[in-house]
Amino acid sequence: MPEPFCFYFLYVPLNITITVSASQPNKEEVTKRNLEYRKPYKIFKTKLPTETKVDGSMKKVSMETTVHIHQRKINEELKAYIYEMGIPICEIDCDYSIDVQQKIPLSNDRDTVDGKYLKIIYGEVLSQLYNTIGKEQASEAWVRSGFTSDRATTDARKSVITKRFGEKVLIANPMDERSMDEAISNNYNVVYGSEMNKDEWSVVKEGKLLISTSAMFKTNFADSKIVTPNEDMKKIADFSVKIAKEFLGLNISVAFVDSPRATVKADFELNGNKLRFNVAHFRPDEWLPENGNIKQETLDLIIHELGHSRGNHTQQSYHECITELGSKLTIKALRDPEWFNLIDRE
């Protein structure tokens, strides 16, 4: 029972009014107060563990019951409690008070609720109220406990993940840093192992609630086929080599591969200074020059990939490299526009 006990903590059944009389110490006056029914925020039915007498002895069974959810109110009920048919049992770490309309399995002293039972309750409450739970609430202990309860619905779990981590979220794969880098650069929130506990990760993986960065961004060209470049591809390769040499002082090689499963259009291997184009994601006309010059979208891709010679998307060195290339190429275009011509002139 809450101490000091206040009758406000009682939940009176519907259509019942209880009148409480209280006398003050050393005073003759008696204060009377009516305790009336307070409408719950939410009512639902479910099966819960309970204890009942069977053949003269108490047995643990599962029975259908009604559960009342009450919102906590500032300056009235400041703490949340779990109730047994309107009588408070003990304080709980929750945003709501929960009134179970049947016997709750308790310890011998009748003031402690088993953690497994609370987990069931939290899962049930979460499944009822997940649409009303805000971003800040989604990381609270009772929500995380309910998330791992087998009573939590898939929709409730997905909602919690979205509110905790955002609409675009992937599991980090530390063994594939390139996929993590691609995810972050595409505005995904990458969730690391330390951000959820063992039980939460078990639920996520068993329910296939999230996929990894490697599953979303297949940056590995291991299953690729080497492609013999045509004349237009060779011009793009030669131009890429020319840019790297003149503006970055790099001697690079260029290869063409066909890898439909890979999600990237090109990549740059820092070890070996190799630029690879994935022809599976190119249009047939994309290699062709435009008025004799390289197309803007192809030049954009080359700059993007050569930037990786100095780092990943999330590194300052990468961004400094691509802005350096952009400014140097602009000045080169102003001074020597013929330098960009891909067609041999007599």
pLDDT band (50, 70, 90) for residue 28: low
Q: In what order do the strands lie in the sheet with 57-71?
A: 42-54, 57-71, 96-100, 80-84, 87-92
**CB-count exposure of residue 244 (10 Å: 0-12, 13-18, 19+):** buried
Of 56-65, 176-185, 295-304, 337-346, the range with the lowest mean pLDDT is: 337-346
Residue 223 pLDDT: 76
Does the structure show a pLDDT above 90 at 24?
A: no
Residues 6+ apart with CB under 8 A from 165: 189, 191, 195
Enumerate the β-bridge partners of residue 100: 67, 84
Domains of the chain with bracketed CATH: 42-165 (no CATH), 166-217 (no CATH), 225-340 (3.30.2010.10)
Which of the pair, 109 or 259, is modelled with greater confidence?
Answer: 259
- HSE value, Cβ hemisphere, 13 Å, CA-based, for 46: 19
- Structure confidence by residue, pLDDT tens digits, 156-177: 999 999 999 999 999 999 999 8
CA–CA dist 186, 221 (Å, integer): 20
Residue 73 pLDDT: 60
DSSP 73: -
Q: Provide mean pLDDT across the span 243-250.
A: 96
What average pLDDT does the structure give for the chain? 88
pTM of this structure? 0.78
Helix%, strand%, coil% for the chain, nearest 5: 35, 25, 40
Q: Which residue has the tokens 């526009």?
A: 337
Residue 50 pLDDT: 93
Find how far residue 171's CA is from the centre of its chain.
Answer: 8
